[in-house]
């Protein structure tokens, strides 16, 4: 069986390196690369695109759009494209790459020629909210609030340098202008009609993520219990390898780094029935299921390879 050929455009960045590390362990895949200044040469990049089956874009949004145009210009000779940027996540011609989002989504990704890899924060938020909207428990126009904390590796080069070089702050809120770039995809794919409030934060740890959604149970349809919410989530993700519903720990504590180095996401429901309040929490590695791990899962689906169902520890994320 011939190997599938893949070109990672922007492989030197954090997400690109993570994808490359994972794909090196997949025997069905041959990675193709450019060296030196040829990495920035549009003609060289387009020529390589014509030789591969799939291109992964690990680039800033504008550069990702330019690379997509290069691939589109090849017509029938062009490769499939998986975009890890924000550029195409709500574009109607692109398939959203969260395979567990709803029944049939993995099959849509497998058929697609253009797939947008999800953001790390939206992966957790959509994973928690969408099943409850689909079940009619959270109304589509519900005023949802999403709080999240991530390791600093998700903030790009400047944030990584600030934390690893000068030490960086222990903790900080950001995006307080309420215009974070992940909000549009969260609203759309969580099936919400009211724009959610999203408050992200970063801690002084390299990777790991918690995404939480607080709820007043008596404001939800049917006045559910915490067990009702958990049952809906458990049914949606029954049989999923990479998204799993776990019991809430009795101590009421959760730390963000436990899934580092994996491509899994865990969902929990913490509820106080006496107060009729609950908090939904997703835990994941922002560089795993929140980025590179999701990309490799989508690559496997798009190319029909077993890589889609592998769950591996990756040295670069240790």
Which of the residues are catalytic?
120
- Locate 84 and state its tokens: 């890890």
Which residue pairs, CB below 8 angstroms and at least 24 apart, start in 266-271? Answer: 267/127, 267/128, 267/233, 267/237, 267/243, 269/226, 269/227, 269/229, 269/230, 269/233, 270/226, 271/217, 271/225, 271/226, 271/227, 271/229
Alpha helices, H only, the chain: 14-23, 42-49, 61-72, 105-111, 120-134, 156-164, 183-189, 226-236, 293-303
- According to DSSP, the residues that pair with 244 across neighbouring strands are 266
Residue 234 three-state SS: helix
DSSP 194: S
Q: Are 297 and 263 in contact (CB under 8 A)?
A: yes
Q: Are 194 and 140 in contact (CB under 8 A)?
A: yes
- Locate 101 and state its tokens: 């989002």
- Locate 212 and state its tokens: 């939480």
* Count of residues making up the chain: 318
- Locate 173 and state its tokens: 């809120």
- According to DSSP, the residues that pair with 266 across neighbouring strands are 244, 283
């Amino acid at each position: 069986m011939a190997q599938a050929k893949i070109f990672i455009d922007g492989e030197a960045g954090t997400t690109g390196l993570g994808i490359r590390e994972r794909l090196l362990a997949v025997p069905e895949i041959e990675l193709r690369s450019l060296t030196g200044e040829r990495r920035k040469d549009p003609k060289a990049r387009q020529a390589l695109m014509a030789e591969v089956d799939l291109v992964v874009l690990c680039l800033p949004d504008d550069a990702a759009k330019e690379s997509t145009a290069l691939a589109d210009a090849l017509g029938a000779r062009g490769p499939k494209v998986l975009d890890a940027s924000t550029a195409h996540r709500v574009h109607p011609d692109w398939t959203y790459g969260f395979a567990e989002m709803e029944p049939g989504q993995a099959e849509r990704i497998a058929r697609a020629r253009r797939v947008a890899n999800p953001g790390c924060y939206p992966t957790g938020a959509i994973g928690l909210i969408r099943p409850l909207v689909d079940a009619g428990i959270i109304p589509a126009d519900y005023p949802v609030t999403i709080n999240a904390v991530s390791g600093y590796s998700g903030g790009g080069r400047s944030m990584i340098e600030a934390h690893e070089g000068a030490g960086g702050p222990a903790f900080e809120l950001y995006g307080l202008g309420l215009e974070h770039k992940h909000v549009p995809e969260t609203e759309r794919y969580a099936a919400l009609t009211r724009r959610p409030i999203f408050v992200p934060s970063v801690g002084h740890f390299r990777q790991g993520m918690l995404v939480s959604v607080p709820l007043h149970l008596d404001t939800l349809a049917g006045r559910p219990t915490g067990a009702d919410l958990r049952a809906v989530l458990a049914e949606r993700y029954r049989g999923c390898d990479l998204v799993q519903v776990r019991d809430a720990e009795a101590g009421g504590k959760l730390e963000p780094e436990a899934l580092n180095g994996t491509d899994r996401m865990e969902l929990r429901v913490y509820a106080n029935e006496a107060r009729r309040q609950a908090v939904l929490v997703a835990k994941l590695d922002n560089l795993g299921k929140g980025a590179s791990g999701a990309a490799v899962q989508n690559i496997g689906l798009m190319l029909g390879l077993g890589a889609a169902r592998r769950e591996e520890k990756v040295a670069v994320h240790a």
